[in-house]
Structure 1
Amino acid sequence: MRIGIIGTRGIPNRHGGFEQFVECVAPVLVERGHEVFVYNSSLHPYQGNEWKGVKIIHQSDPEDKLGSAGQFIYDLNCILDSRKRNYDIILQLGYTSSSVWSFLYSGKSVLITNMDGLEWKRSKYSKAVKLFLKSAERWAALYSDYLIADSKGIQSYLWDKYKKQSEFIAYGATPIATSSEAVLKPYNLEKYKYNMLIARMEPENNIEAIIRGHVKAAHKVPLVVVGGLNNQYGKQLKEKYESAFIIFTGAIYDLDTLDNLRFYSNLYFHGHSVGGTNPSLLEAMSSNALIVANENIFNRSVLGDDAFYFENENDVASVLDSELKKEDNLQMLSENQEKILLHYSWTQIINKLELFLTNSLKTKSH
């Protein structure tokens, strides 16, 4: 198949979940004989025309000049270019700034959209933006030939809301193979004597509640906060809370470093409250992290009873003051590793995606 992938900042991953998904999936599809094209923002640091056999198409992205509005221009440029490429399939990841241009897609290509999470629920958006995002979600759901849901919760929502079937295809993860305490040295950390979180600096990720819980708790344990600090919210958090016990590292993209930081943490806090199956949650499970997650349907559907949960900063403080230890909860770690092997290995995810793309193309052709 000739496959175009739209909706990410590009690969290799320097941004988030969809980029990580493409980084893991696209090269394997190439190895299996497919021709894969990935659209990269002109702002992406990688400027090569090919990466691990994947063709890279660079498109102008004025986000650095226009802010979020630039994303709409970038997506428009990608979609207009896709009309010339004669793709069998266009895999659209997300809809926030692309579905407004859905009518411009070539009808010759099968359009498959991964619907991501419930973007209009994100607390960072104004009422007007939330109204727009609800419309964008509807356009994506109705204009796409086929839909992908990355969680069972999103799959149920799409059927209830739009009466449209979707294929459940989550993200993947790879169980940590080797560990090295040397990773801790640059951060002055000791194994099992710190907690951590990895998240984009957004309010709906409950970062401030996790930090405030650590500040409030009588049992003091360092908290390592990993995530980009280039937005206003991230800068405010760093300015307000950074101390010897609240450590902001900025963004870290090296997966081996992240895996080891998770592996040697005592508790791993996952505060994401909006969206489907979150990639960083699966990576925490595969890194043998003892997880304390925000209480919501998306996290519960993945973790079940193999995690501790919180709703607010007081819950976080209570968890900390109970002095949970990783070594006392080995069964949880084992169960989560088993989930990765059974349901979320990259091989299974790629097999499922490839089959869905193949069947979608056949069905549309007929």
Structure 2
Amino acid sequence: MKIAILGTRGIPNHYGGFEQFAEFFAVYLVEKGHEVYVYNSHNHPHQEKTFKGVHILHCNDPEHKMGTFGQFIYDYNCIMDARTREFDIILQLGYTSNSVWFFLLPKKPVIITNMDGLEWKRTKYSRPVRQFLKFAERLAAVSSDHLVSDSLGIQSYLKRKYGKDSTFIAYGAHPFNSPDAAIPAKYDVEPGQYNMIMARFEPENNLDMVLEGVAQSTDKKTILVVGNHMTKYGEYLKSKFANYANIRFTGGIYNLTDLNSLRYFSNLYFHGHTVGGTNPSLLEAMASQALIAAHSNDFNRGILKENAFYFTSAKQVAELLPTVKKSDNLQKVAQNYEAIVNDYNWEKINGEYLGLFEKVMAAK
């Protein structure tokens, strides 16, 4: 098959979850004998025309000059190029800035769209932007030949909202089983004697709720707050909790050995996300053998099932902290790790996407 992947800033990954998936999946497809093209921003660090056998198509991306609106121009440029290529399948990752150009997509290829999370629920967006994202979601849902949901919650939402079936294919993670016991000391904590939360500093990730619970709790273990806090919301949180010495803002941690070991040796790892499908950071926490306390919602429960503690308020966080020990809950940890190995490993995820491609081409 001749396959194109649109909707990312490009590969190899220098940005986020969709880029990571595009990198793994594109290389996998080439290894299986397919002809694969990935669209890259013109200013992507990788300027070669190929990457591990994948053809790279650089398109002009004015986002660095124009801000968010530049994403629409970049997607337009990618789609216009795709019209000249005679692809069999076009895989679109997300819909926020490409679905408005649906009428320009070439007619010959099968259009498959990964619908991402419920982007219009993100409180970081203004009301007009959220209304636009709802409109963009609808355009993608009704104009694509096939939809992919990366969580069962998104799958049921698309069926309920648009009457559209979608194929459930989750995200992936690499199992981690080589922790370095010296890493916590680099961050001035001891194994098992600290908690952790990692997220983008946005309201829907409930950092405020978790940290308010830490402030209220009788438990005074350090909590490492990992993520870029140099934002308006980050400044608000740092100011609010400035008097709590056990709340420590580390900034982003991008060394994977450090990050995986910190998750592994934490007592409780909090996951407060409420928007989106299969969240990559949640799978990575499971893969790092962390004991997880997650916000109680369909997305998180659909992945963690009974193998986590759940909260919906700061009071519940405060009650969990002094009573839950990782050493008493190793079965939950083991079952989450097993889920990564059996259900969320990249080989299985890639195989499910390829199986979908083969199915839709056979039907065509």
Structure 2 length normalisation: TM-score? 0.92
Displacement of 1:229 = 4.1
Once the 2 structures are TM-superposed, how far is the Cα of residue 2 of structure 1 from its aligned partner?
1.8
Q: Name the CA shift for 1:232/1:360 in 2 (closer, same or farther; >3 Å).
A: farther
Give the 3 Å change call, closer, same or farther, for CA 105–350 of structure 1 in structure 2. Answer: same
The Cα shift of 1:354 comes to 0.5
The amino acid that maps onto 2:207 is: I
For 1:74 and 1:251, locate their aligned partners in 2 and report how far apart those are by CA, in whole Å. 28
Distance, in Å, in 2 between the alignment partners of 1:361 and 1:165 is: 17
Q: How far apart are the structure 2 equivalents of 1:43 and 1:145?
A: 31
- Aligned mates of 1:184, 1:101 — CA distance in 2: 48
1:303 matched to which residue of 2?
304
Per-residue deviation, residues 68-88 of structure 1 (Å, max 9, x unmatched): 222222222222222222222
Cα deviation for residue 238 of structure 1 reads: 4.4
Q: Distance in 2 between matches of 1:241 and 1:82?
A: 50
CA distance in 1, matches of 2:164, 2:313: 35
| Residues 30-49 of structure 1 mapped to structure 2, 5 A cutoff | 30-49=30-49
59-68 or 102-111: which moved more?
A: 59-68
Q: Which residue of 1 aligns with 2:287?
A: 286
AA at the equivalent of 1:232: K
Task: Specify every segment of 5 or more residues in structure 1 that has no aligned partner in the other structure, as ranges.
Answer: none
C-alpha distance 258-88 of structure 1, shift in aligned 2 (>3 A): farther
Q: Which amino acid aligns with 2:309?
A: F
Give the Å deviation of 1:128. 1.7
Deviation at 1:232, TM superposition (A): 3.3
Q: Alpha carbons of 1:132 and 1:48: their partners in 2 closer, same or farther (altered >3 Å)? A: same
Deviates more, 1:1-10 or 1:44-53: 44-53
Give the corresponding residue for 1:267: 268
Q: Distance in 2 between matches of 1:223 and 1:161?
A: 39
Matched, 1:208 2:208: yes
Distance in 1 between residues matched to 2:41 and 2:355, nearest whole Å: 28
Larger deviation: 346-355 or 335-344? 335-344
The separation in 2 between residues aligned to 1:231 and 1:103, in whole angstroms, is 37
Structure 1 residue 185: Cα displacement: 4.1
Write the mapping of 1:113-152 to structure 2, written as runs, cut at 5 A: 113-152=113-152
Q: In the TM superposition, what is the alpha-carbon distance from 1:21 to its structure 2 partner?
A: 1.8
Confirm whether residue 352 of structure 1 aligns to residue 352 of structure 2.
yes
CA–CA separation in structure 2 for the residues paired with 1:224 and 1:201 = 14
Task: Detail structure 1 runs of 4+ shifted over 6 Å in the superposition.
Answer: none
2:330 alignment partner in structure 1: 330
* Worse-superposed segment, 334-343 or 177-186: 177-186
Question: 1:93 corresponds to which residue?
Answer: 93
Q: TM-score, normalised to structure 1's length? A: 0.92
CA contact (8 A) 1:13 1:253 kept: no
Match of 2:26 in 1: 26
Give the paired residue count.
363
| 1:61 positional shift | 2.5
Q: Which runs of 5+ in 2 are unaligned?
A: none
Kept in 2, the 8 Å contact 1:117–1:275? The answer is yes
Deviates most, 104-113 or 227-236: 227-236
* Aligned equivalent of 2:112: 112
Give the corresponding residue for 1:223.
223
Q: 2:340 maps to what in 1?
A: 340
What RMSD over aligned residues (CA atoms) do the two structures have, in Å?
2.1
The one-letter code matched in structure 1 to 2:249 is F
| Residue type of the alignment partner of 2:338 | E
What is the SS of the residue equivalent to 1:181? coil
Whole-Å Cα distance in 1 between the matches of residues 303 and 357 of structure 2? 24
C-alpha contact (below 8 Å) 1:40/1:57 kept by paired residues: yes
Q: 1:45 to 1:237 in 2, by over 3 A?
A: farther
Cα gap change, 1:42 to 1:197, in 2 (>3 Å): farther
Q: Alpha carbons of 1:45 and 1:345: their partners in 2 closer, same or farther (altered >3 Å)?
A: same
Whole-angstrom CA distance in 2 between matches of 1:306 and 1:294:
13
- Structure 1 residues 64 and 16, CA, compared in 2 at 3 Å: closer, same or farther? same
Question: 1:38–1:221: structure 2 CA closer, same or farther, 3 Å change rule?
Answer: farther
Name the aligned partner's letter for residue 17 of structure 1: G
Distance 1:183 1:104 in 2: 51
User: Deviation string for 1:320-339 (max 9, x for gaps)?
Assistant: 132x2111101111111222
Q: In the alignment, which residue of structure 1 is the partner of 2:70?
A: 70
Q: Identity over aligned residues, as a percent?
A: 55
Indicate the larger mover: 127-136 or 284-293.
Answer: 127-136
Contact 1:14 1:253 in 2 (8 A): no
Higher mean Cα deviation, 304-313 or 244-253?
A: 244-253
What's the CA shift for 1:307? 0.5
SS, match of residue 274 in structure 1: coil
CA 105–124 in structure 1, closer or farther in 2 if over 3 Å, else same? same
Q: Which amino acid aligns with 1:363?
A: A
Query: Where does residue 159 of structure 2 map in the other structure?
Result: 159
What is the letter of the counterpart of residue 237 of structure 1?
L
Q: Quickly say closer, same or farther: Cα 1:58–1:214, change in 2 above 3 A.
A: farther
